């Protein structure tokens, strides 16, 4: 699979977007060449995390820290892809996943990523506060990139437990 390389030193926006693209592609690579059953297989040590669960979580992060954060919503409220999330309730990103969830979840991830890219492109200055969370484009990009980077570590462990594959 073609992957975005680590970005070279550049201006702030290009650098942050380069790292976001790099980490998105790194996550996609960790899911590549697995079947639907493998994508819903939980990782080691009793975790409920699976690669599909992480994908669904990252879909929510695209919604929260780009689509809603930067563009707001018609109702003014954040509407989750797999929520609403209720304290003590099921986690829509991770709980009860079956192979039948793979295709619609993958489509949702790509849809949210494309919408996030449009929302990011619509904000020209890094200091501009988003219509949804009122935090700067800079803050939201760093937060979204951090979510991918952190969960790529989890994805490494899960993938290795499935088929032994390792990578960056």
Quote the pLDDT of residue 108. 98
Whole-angstrom distance, CA of residue 55 vs CA of residue 126: 27
Quote the pLDDT of residue 45. 85
Whole-angstrom distance, CA of residue 30 vs CA of residue 37: 15
Quote the pLDDT of residue 168. 64
Quote the pLDDT of residue 2. 84
Q: Which residues of the chain have pLDDT under 50?
A: none
Task: Give 40-44's long-range contacts (Cβ < 8 A, gap of 24+).
Answer: 40/97, 40/98, 40/99, 40/101, 40/102, 41/158, 41/161, 41/162, 42/158, 43/154, 43/157, 43/158, 43/161, 44/157, 44/158, 44/161
Question: Could you say which DSSP state residue 14 is in?
Answer: H
Tally of CB atoms within 10 A around 80: 14
Quote the pLDDT of residue 84. 85
Whole-angstrom distance, CA of residue 71 vs CA of residue 123: 9
Residues in the chain: 168
Domains of the chain: residue spans and CATH: 12-163 (1.20.120.450)
130 DSSP β-pair partners: none
Kindly tell me the burial class for residue 158, based on how many C-beta atoms sit within 10 Å of its own C-beta (0-12, 13-18, 19 or more). Answer: buried
């Amino acid at each position: 699979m073609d992957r975005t390389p680590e970005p070279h030193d550049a201006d702030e926006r290009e650098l942050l977007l380069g790292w976001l693209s790099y980490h998105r592609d790194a996550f996609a690579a960790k899911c590549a060449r697995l079947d639907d059953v493998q994508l819903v297989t939980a990782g080691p040590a009793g975790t409920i995390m699976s690669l599909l669960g992480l994908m669904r979580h990252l879909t929510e992060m695209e919604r929260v820290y780009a689509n809603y954060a930067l563009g707001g919503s018609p109702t003014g409220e954040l509407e989750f892809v797999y929520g609403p999330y209720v304290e003590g309730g099921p986690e829509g990103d991770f709980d009860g996943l079956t192979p039948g969830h793979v295709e619609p979840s993958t489509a949702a991830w790509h849809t949210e990523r494309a919408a996030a890219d449009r929302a990011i492109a619509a904000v020209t200055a890094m200091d501009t506060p988003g219509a949804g969370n009122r935090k700067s484009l800079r803050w939201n990009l760093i937060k979204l990139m951090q979510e991918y980077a952190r969960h790529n570590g989890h994805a490494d462990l899960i993938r290795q437990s499935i088929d032994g594959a390792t990578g960056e």
